[in-house]
Amino acid sequence: MPAIMEPNQQRVSTASHTLIFCAKSPLNEQHLQNLLTQEDKDGRFNCDEDKQKMDQGRRFFVNYNSNTPQNQLDWEAKQLYIALGQLLFAAAAIGVDSTAMEGFDKEKMDEALDLKHQGLRSILVVTLGYRSVDDSNASRPKSRLPKEQIFTQL
């Protein structure tokens, strides 16, 4: 795929699954109503008051983070990184290897997948599968900065 930058081409071409995390752009009234309708159909609310509270809470955060289109997109990207963290932990828990990457051309990805037409913008890519037996990274020891350089204890 031409949208994937060269260092990541092999990761994508050999992965069993490649996921493109996308943000809704813009995050508009129609989308918010669609979410609420789906949650209602799925039985997420015990009563109308619960439904109204969910809608109000969601709108509060959307409005708080949407003073410009770029701020809205930045906030949505942060929300996607929360979902990414869950995906990576879940994959590891079932023995599936994963690689998260930003090494792709977002404009090319959006064009290749016709995302703009769908009201979406690509944010990040994740490959899933099982590492190759000759993956040199798997046999090398991990390297991390000492915790004293990373954390501040209060």
Over residues 96-119, mean pLDDT:
95
Whole-prediction pTM value? 0.85
Q: Any idea what the CATH number is for the domain that residue 82 is in?
A: 3.40.109.10
- Domains in the chain, number: 1
Give yes or no for residue 132 having a pLDDT over 90.
Answer: no
The answer to the question of residue 145 being in a domain is: yes
Structural domain of residue 17, as residue ranges? 6-27+66-150
**Inside any domain, residue 121:** yes
State CA 58 to chain mean position distance: 18
Residue 100 lies in a domain: yes
Examine residue 54 and state whether it is found in any structural domain, yes or no: no
Give the model's pLDDT for residue 145: 96
Question: Degrees (nearest 5) of the Cα angle 63, 66, 70?
Answer: 170
Instruction: Please state, in angstroms and rounded to a whole number, the distance separating the CA atoms of residues 70 and 66.
Output: 8
What is the structure's pLDDT at 83?
97
Percentage, residues of the chain above pLDDT 70: 100
Classify residue 70: in a domain, yes or no.
yes
User: Are the beta carbons of 4 and 102 closer than 8 angstroms?
Assistant: no
Confirm whether 55 is domain-assigned. Answer: no
Q: How far is CA 74 from CA 109, 131, 143, in A?
A: 18, 32, 30
Residue-level pLDDT at 19: 97
- Could you report the per-residue pLDDT of 27-68, keeping only the tens digit for each? 999 999 999 999 999 999 999 999 999 999 999 999 999 999
Mean pLDDT of 9-34: 93
Q: Does residue 7 have a cis bond before it (omega within 30 degrees)? A: no
Residue 40 lies in a domain: no
Within a domain: 77: yes
